[in-house]
Structure 1
Amino acid sequence: MGAGIAHAFCVAGTVVVIVEQNEQAAEAARGRVIAALDRTIAKGGTSESLDVLSSRLTTTTDYSHLAPCGLVVEAVPEDFDLKSTALRAVEDVVDDAAWLATNTSSLSIGDLAAALQRPERFCGLHFFNPVPASALIEVVLGPATSAELKRAAQEWAVALGKTPVVVKDAPGFASSRLGVAIALEAMRMMEEGVASPEDIDAAMELGYKHSVGPLRTTDIVGLDVRLGIAEYLASTLGERFEPPRILREKVERGELGRKSGQGFFTWDD
């Protein structure tokens, strides 16, 4: 997700700094972004050269390199303590006028903002995977998010060629809450032998015009990520979001979806 977000801003003409946990991860992140930029050029998505696009990109392990940034988007894994720690580290080095955002798909914006010195300058910017192909950004407003940031966030989304939807801070917001609910029911249907993964997905793709079915989407997002979101929603919204047995078992076996090569489908790439 972080690489996809960086790619989107690079293509839009923004100077981008990626902070990773170590040198190996930083180099891998740069490689992913450069590869995505190359694909965009090949598809005619930009008239700029790879040299020009890549010149806007810096990868580092040092938070202090974020000091000049006007906007920082946190995109670490979906763990509250990890996100909170990262956001506080960012706030310590950026200017007071900088905006902060989190790419969380379910965690409370208000709870994350509570540890920040300037919660009014913080919101959710929920990008969707894969970022280059997605047309949506969910702008999530916390209790303290300023009206100025709300306007700016919507403008950023449009500048990236995407459509913003604005939602208030609530478990799962709008997109994750609906998407996870459908995916969990699809998994229960698999457990009950109602239909195959292929036919369940085809029903949603052909009958409801979903571009990708709920089980293949889960594979793309990551079964471990979906499990974490479902557990959080179950703890906040009730047992209707309780993860099905099949999801827990697959995660325990390391069948995490596309990134592991096996999830509800087999991925050869």
Structure 2
Amino acid sequence: MSSKNEVSVVGAGLMGTGIAHGFAVAGCDVLLIDPAQGALDKALKSIGKLLDEGVSRGKLAEADAQAAKARITTATTLDERLANAALLVETAVENIEIKHTILKDAAALLPSTAFLATNTSALSISEIASVIDTPGRVIGMHFFNPVPKMKLVEIIRGLETSDEALVQAIDWVKRLGKDHIVVNEAPGFTTSRMSAMMGNEAMYMLAEGVASAEDIDKSLRMAFNHPMGPLELGDLTGWDTRLRVLQYLHGVMGEKFRPCPLIIKMVKAGRHGRKVGRGVYEYDENGAKVPGSGLRAVR
């Protein structure tokens, strides 16, 4: 039987780290799972830093921060500890085969009352859910980076998603202190579809020499009041992730989502974004953007 207070998060990257942090602060016992021990160690360090910053800003009591740290345990494999989880959130790379493996293995260990959520930003919830015998308990819960700061969670219903799974997902989001929208599954949902097109067009403009990277981003920030420009956002999201989303959307929705060749070139060059210190811009060891480092037109 699952405990309403236990959550498992699969994947200790940026998204998994933020999601684990959120559930721990909300009072949940969190099992963070990743095959790489180094990723788990990095995640725990990042979560500790986030909690300490919350204390220093007066957003969190010291005792609450220490309690949240104590609620998080880690594992390098899916194991019998999933038997008490009420929710599993999968945050693996945007690859359907990897997600299928995780959900199939997890479903065999989770109690029948537990729900499975995928943090995919574009892939089909119905297809992800098809690998288990009870697809009705699979739902999309698309968080946004950085998770501690972003207030929205996009909840996506697949073809088989049950009404109970939807109710439970909304309850979990409220417990995290976040807001939500509900989307009936469609390629790219709402946010990824709009963001992918905007970022792709911005890269075409950069490649064509329409304006500098800095000015393209400045236009969105100052003319439309966006908190960051499309190229800055792509650096934050990761151009490898953005490319996979565009390739998927191009395959199912056609030419308007054809990836800009500059994105493909950047990914091949290893310029994945802020997480590796260079994307459209370059970043210092503290993750701050280096002034004047934006890519120039590539013809």
Bucket of the pairwise TM-score, normalised by the shorter protein: over 0.9
Aligned residues: 269
Q: 3-state SS of the aligned residue for 2:276?
A: coil
For the pair 1:120 / 2:136, whether they are aligned, the reply is yes
For the pair 1:91 / 2:110, whether they are aligned, the reply is no
Q: 3-state SS of the aligned residue for 1:124?
A: strand
Instruction: Tell me the distance in 2 between the aligned counterparts of 1:213 and 1:73.
Output: 29
For the pair 1:82 / 2:93, whether they are aligned, the reply is no
Which residue does the alignment assign to 2:218?
Answer: 202
Q: 1:73 aligns with which of 58, 65, 89?
A: 89
Instruction: Tell me the distance in 2 between the aligned counterparts of 1:105 and 1:118.
Output: 22
Q: 2:78 aligns with which of 60, 63, 87?
A: 63
Q: 1:15 aligns with which of 22, 29, 53?
A: 29
Q: 3-state SS of the aligned residue for 1:259?
A: helix
Residue identity opposite 2:232 in structure 1: R
Same amino acid, percent of matched pairs: 39
Deviations 1:56-90 (A, max 9, x none): 10011131222211000001111111111011111
For the pair 1:243 / 2:259, whether they are aligned, the reply is yes
Compute the displacement of 1:48 (Å). Answer: 4.7
Instruction: Tell me the distance in 1 between the aligned counterparts of 2:106 and 2:56.
Output: 35
Deviations 1:1-47 (A, max 9, x none): 10000011111111110011133332222222222222222222222
For the pair 1:45 / 2:45, whether they are aligned, the reply is no
Q: 3-state SS of the aligned residue for 1:67?
A: helix
Residue identity opposite 1:62 in structure 2: T
Instruction: Tell me the distance in 2 between the aligned counterparts of 1:157 and 1:24.
Output: 29
Instruction: Tell me the distance in 2 between the aligned counterparts of 1:66 and 1:32.
Output: 24
Q: 3-state SS of the aligned residue for 1:9?
A: helix
Q: 1:159 aligns with which of 143, 160, 175?
A: 175
TM-score by length of 1: 0.97
Which residue does the alignment assign to 2:295?
Answer: none
Deviations 1:104-156 (A, max 9, x none): 00000000111112111110000000001101100000011111111221122
For the pair 1:4 / 2:24, whether they are aligned, the reply is no
Residue identity opposite 1:188 in structure 2: Y
Instruction: Tell me the distance in 2 between the aligned counterparts of 1:73 and 1:176.
Output: 19
Residue identity opposite 1:217 in structure 2: L
Q: 3-state SS of the aligned residue for 1:247?
A: helix
Instruction: Tell me the distance in 1 between the aligned counterparts of 2:168 and 2:127.
Output: 22
For the pair 1:28 / 2:50, whether they are aligned, the reply is no
Alignment gaps of 5+ in structure 1:
none
1:29, 1:59 within 8 Å by CA — same for their partners in 2?
no
Quote the RMSD (CA, aligned, Å).
1.1
TM-score by length of 2: 0.87
Q: 3-state SS of the aligned residue for 2:150?
A: coil
Which residue does the alignment assign to 1:102?
Answer: 118
Q: 3-state SS of the aligned residue for 1:149?
A: helix
Instruction: Tell me the distance in 1 between the aligned counterparts of 2:59 and 2:88.
Output: 25
Runs of 4 or more off by more than 3 Å in structure 1? none
Q: 3-state SS of the aligned residue for 2:58?
A: coil
Instruction: Tell me the distance in 2 between the aligned counterparts of 1:92 and 1:44.
Output: 42
Instruction: Tell me the distance in 2 between the aligned counterparts of 1:37 and 1:204.
Output: 32
